């Protein structure tokens, strides 16, 4: 990785509360090892990211970054931000699931320097969410978007899945 040109940092957070039916990334078995795995991720970041690496974007994807407990979230974020120098208008994104977007958590993410959320909505229909094996309800997704906006996130995206078996073009 060159430190000369601003770069994009992607952090893969390999944890999920459960395995969604359509997904090949099943990290639910790692949940009990969050402290050890996050500590190892921090050590790897220290080994691989040169000091003062300029960055224009920071993106935490998964898996589900929003399952990280506060302590591990803060520790990993601190380690990363000690290694990189973000540009003033850098985009810092966190992938989150609707059920994790509580007022406390969204305030924490904001205070930790994230300015964009990517919310795993997938569908606003409960029957489709049941088919996918997602734990949230359509209303939870609406609430999550509003909570994020209330906390000051102006830059939001949502994931939506379409073309499920039995769904119509109109749907």
Least distance CB 140 / ligand SF4 (angstroms): 14
Least distance CB 23 / ligand SF4 (angstroms): 3
DSSP H or E run through 51? none
> Are 73 and 102 within 8 A, CB to CB?
no
Nearer to ligand SF4, 42 or 63 (CB): 63
Partners of residue 92 on adjacent β-strands: 58
Nearer to ligand SF4, 16 or 58 (CB): 16
Distances (CA, A) of 110 to 71, 98, 115, 155: 15, 16, 7, 12
> Interface with ligand SF4 by CB under 6 A: which residues?
16, 19-20, 23, 25-26, 62-64, 120
Nearer to ligand SF4, 19 or 164 (CB): 19
Nearer to ligand SF4, 26 or 51 (CB): 26
Among candidates 96, 97, 13, 10, which has minimal Cα distance to 59?
10
Q: Which two tokens stand for residue 42?
A: 């921090």
């Amino acid at each position: 990785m060159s430190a000369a040109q601003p770069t994009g940092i992607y952090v893969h957070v390999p944890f999920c509360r459960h395995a969604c039916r359509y997904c090949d990334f099943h990290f639910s078995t790692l949940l009990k090892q969050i402290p050890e795995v996050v500590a190892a991720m921090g050590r790897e970041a220290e080994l691989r990211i040169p000091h003062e690496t300029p960055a224009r974007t920071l993106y935490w994807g998964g898996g589900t970054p929003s399952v990280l407990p506060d302590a591990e979230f803060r520790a990993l974020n601190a380690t990363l931000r000690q290694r990189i120098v973000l540009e003033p208008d850098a985009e810092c994104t966190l992938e989150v699931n609707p059920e994790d977007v509580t007022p406390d958590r969204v305030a924490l993410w904001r205070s930790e320097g994230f300015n964009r959320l990517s919310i795993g909505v997938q569908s606003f229909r409960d029957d489709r969410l049941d088919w996918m094996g997602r734990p949230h309800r359509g209303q939870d997704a609406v609430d999550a978007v509003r909570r994020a906006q209330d906390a000051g996130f102006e830059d939001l995206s949502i994931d939506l899945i379409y073309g499920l078996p039995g769904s119509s073009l109109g749907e």
